[in-house]
Amino acid sequence: MDINKVIIIVLLLVAVVGYIRLYRHYRRNIKKVTFLFDAIDNGDFSFNFPTEKGVKEDKILHKSLNRIKLFLQHEREEQMDREKYYEQILNAVDTGILVVDSHDNILQHNQAALRLLDTDVLTHMNQVKGKLKDEHLAKHETQAMLKDKHVRIIALSDVSHELSNQEVDSWIKLIRVLTHEIMNTITPVTSLSETLLTRVTEDKDLKQGLETIHKTGTELLAFVNNYRRFTHVPQPQPALFYVEPFLERMALLCNHEVEISVSPKDLLAYADESLLSHVVTNLLKNAVEAFKEKEREDKQECRSANLQSAASKKAFIRLQAYANAQESIIIDVSNNAGLIPDEVASHIFIPFFTTKPEGSGIGLSLSRQIMRVSGGSLSLLQDKAQGITTFRIIIP
């Protein structure tokens, strides 16, 4: 009976020891599996379980865990590659994309959205609610599910270029028809009057009348030829050039003190320097004329308070050049000679429109046409708080 008790006790001890060892082995394996998934959650794939040492069962387990790690690592890398691929596709399109959750948090956006909304950071819709009302931005919104959450996908497109192109094309067609008809009518009259002038020697009244006809016709032909320039912008011949020396030359030509700021100093642009010089020169000329007009208006002021405030404000013309986030070259031509009234600003790029008594109405429209043909743009920006008018040239 004693022997049986001893055997039972020994067996119980063996069972307890076996259970403890099995439990410890189980716990170690659980810790290994837990370590595997914790490391993967943290993006750490640098570990490997040893497969050369230990008991056979451990080697088999370690090999299996290493296979699981390699499989999940491969899946993670493929997922990251897909995300980079999709991100590159999103950043390559001109359409702005915003992914917005139910709390108006912006979960994702592309570079086009930053450019169209003119900002460097997008985190919440409150940042851009005002800008989304811009009539030049076309918006399309769809609903989707992302990780069991409702999101809005907002697509933004800049239609200003299309609208501008259609408008310019319409003006070009109209101007071509008008110039053709006027040239066909006036050229024979001018030529005939010039011929008759050579034959008339005695009749002073007739000669004076012919001279008037000839002079008026010549002036009208010159006027028409001026507008023909709008429809016949030469094909740009772009080349690399340094922006700062270019702007310094433009400033010398305008015969007025000009502030120049270029960042970085060795900023390069790829454009037709000759055509661009026409645009910048015209904008500087307009700025100088704006100051002259302001001086004339100030002299006509009768109230001393207005005269003192005008005198205390330092006048400036500023040329500023830099590269934006999209690596386009920006040239801002600014002055504080006074803001352009809204009713005038909406028409300044229209051919024939001018507020100057002797203006042709071709300068700004031709400048915008040059930038359009060059693949860039010319736009008006006004800081009403500071009283600063800026014409912005964008060179892609």
* pLDDT tens readout for residues 189-225: 677 677 766 776 666 677 677 677 767 667 666 656 6
Residue 389 and residue 258 in one domain = yes
pLDDT given for residue 77 in this prediction: 86
Residue 171 and residue 116 in one domain = no
Residue 20 and residue 131 in one domain = no
What tens digit of pLDDT does each residue of 3-56 get? 777 777 777 887 887 778 777 877 888 888 888 888 888 888 888 888 887 777
Q: Which domain range does residue 74 map to? A: 2-88
Average pLDDT, the chain: 80
| Mean pLDDT score, 59-75 | 86
- Name the residue among 96, 108, 162, 92 with its Cα closest to residue 132: 96
Tell me: pLDDT of 68 over 70.
yes
Residue type, 345: A
| Mean pLDDT score, 67-78 | 86
Tell me: pLDDT of 309 over 50.
no
pLDDT given for residue 261 in this prediction: 95
Most confident of 2-16, 34-48, 352-366, 379-393: 379-393
Cβ–Cβ under 8 Å, residues 148 and 167: no
Residue 25 vs residue 231, higher pLDDT: 25
Residue 12 is encoded by which pair of tokens?
């119980």
Residue 35 and residue 102 in one domain = no
pLDDT given for residue 310 in this prediction: 45
% of residues, the chain, pLDDT over 90 = 16
Element (H, E) at 381: strand 377-383
pLDDT given for residue 247 in this prediction: 94
pTM above 0.75, yes or no: no
Phi and psi at residue 375, to the nearest 5°: 85, 5
Distance CA(108)–CA(89), nearest Å, equals: 14
Residue 220 and residue 304 in one domain = no
pLDDT given for residue 360 in this prediction: 60
pLDDT given for residue 311 in this prediction: 46
Residue 169 and residue 106 in one domain = no
Residue 278 is encoded by which pair of tokens?
């026409």
Residue 259 and residue 205 in one domain = no
The domain boundary residue, chosen from 186, 203, 231: 231
3-state secondary structure of 83: helix
Residues facing residue 263 across a β-bridge: 322
pLDDT given for residue 86 in this prediction: 80
The domain boundary residue, chosen from 158, 193, 214: 158
**Largest Cα–Cα distance in the chain?**
164
Say how many domains are in the chain.
4
Q: How confident is the model at residue 355 (pLDDT cuts 50, 70, 90)?
A: confident
The domain boundary residue, chosen from 56, 88, 120: 88
Tell me: pLDDT of 358 over 90.
no
Residue 200 is encoded by which pair of tokens?
């008339």
Residue 146 and residue 179 in one domain = no
Q: How confident is the model at residue 241 (pLDDT cuts 50, 70, 90)?
A: very high
Residue 312 and residue 386 in one domain = yes
Tell me: pLDDT of 153 over 80.
yes
Residue 184 is encoded by which pair of tokens?
């066909």
Element (H, E) at 198: helix 160-199
Tell me: pLDDT of 278 over 70.
yes
Tell me: pLDDT of 375 over 70.
yes
pLDDT given for residue 14 in this prediction: 79
Residue 281 and residue 372 in one domain = yes
- Name the residue among 374, 379, 384, 395 with its Cα closest to residue 164: 379
| Mean pLDDT score, 224-242 | 75
Residue 14 is encoded by which pair of tokens?
């063996």
- Which residue bears the tokens 């071709």? 362
Residue 180 and residue 286 in one domain = no
